[in-house]
Amino acid sequence: MASRSPWGLVRGFKAVPLWSAQPSRACISSSAWLRNAQGPSATLSQESAAAPQQNNSSQIPQAPAKEGKPEINPRLPRSVQAVYLKPLRRHAEYGLPSCDLQLRSYSVRNLEFFCDFALRAAYYLKLPASGPVPLPRITERWTVPRSNFVHKKSQENYERKTLRRLIQIQDGHPETVELWLAFLRQHAYYGVGMKANVWEHEKLGSARSQSELPDPVPESKWAHFGRKKSRETSEKVLEIMNREGYKKAAEGNSAFSWINV
């Protein structure tokens, strides 16, 4: 009979835990004392859960306003509120175009920003403005060699898109339109180009008045110019230069003569 090794006995032995995984019946059943102990804690938890609901439902009482002092409702100034709103516009009475301003840029953000600025400036100058009207894009493409040595045979493409907007001024006075354009040039935004077409309306017979020559300038005003001095002054200067004393001072004996150029 073969003897069994002691390791086999240890391997076959299974240790039983001292405490069972399932609780006993005595632990599961709750006594009257435990029910009484859990009662106050349950009521406290219910009251604490109901307290926030009562606080949320109730409004915070406000102090009554003092007599003679109205309540102050703080708000932003009108100039600051206007930034978040659309620009105001003037109504055109006749609808006659006075100026067409075309704005160009490669960036949509810069273009829209400056269009908004131009419309606001036109409103404060009392100029009826319409737009901005989006115009067709200008797309340009170039194909160039990538390099001049190794990559000479490979080519590279470049593309540039120009965005355009149109703002039209109607029923505007020519001087006011010039002031508006000068203000836009003074506060020009980077990356935005401008091109303006201006129309001026004049009364009948203006072509005849332009064809007429203006009044001649009096000789007294032209006499103050050095190159336009009269002949008498030139002869007087020549006479002084031909005097003996002047010649000796200039160390010359030849007489001066007038040369017509």
Report pLDDT digits (tens) over 72-96. 677 888 878 888 888 889 999 898 9
Percent of the chain with pLDDT over 90: 34
- How many other CB atoms are there within 10 angstroms of residue 165's CB atom? 21
Nearest 5°: phi and psi at 208? -65, -40
DSSP-derived 3-state class of residue 144? strand
Residue 135 has pLDDT above 60, yes or no: yes
Asked whether 154 and 184 are in contact (CB, 8 A), the reply is: no
Give the model's confidence band at 146: pLDDT under 50 very low, under 70 low, under 90 confident, else very high. confident
Mean pLDDT of 193-203: 89
Q: In the predicted model, is pLDDT for residue 225 greater than 60? A: no
Residue 97, helix vs strand vs coil: strand
Residue 165 has which token pair?
């907007």
Measure the CA–CA gap between 164 and 238, rounded to whole angstroms.
Answer: 66
What are the structural domains, with CATH classification, of the chain? 87-198 (3.30.70.600)
Strand partners, 192: 105
Q: Lowest-confidence range among 70-74, 123-127, 140-144, 187-191?
A: 70-74
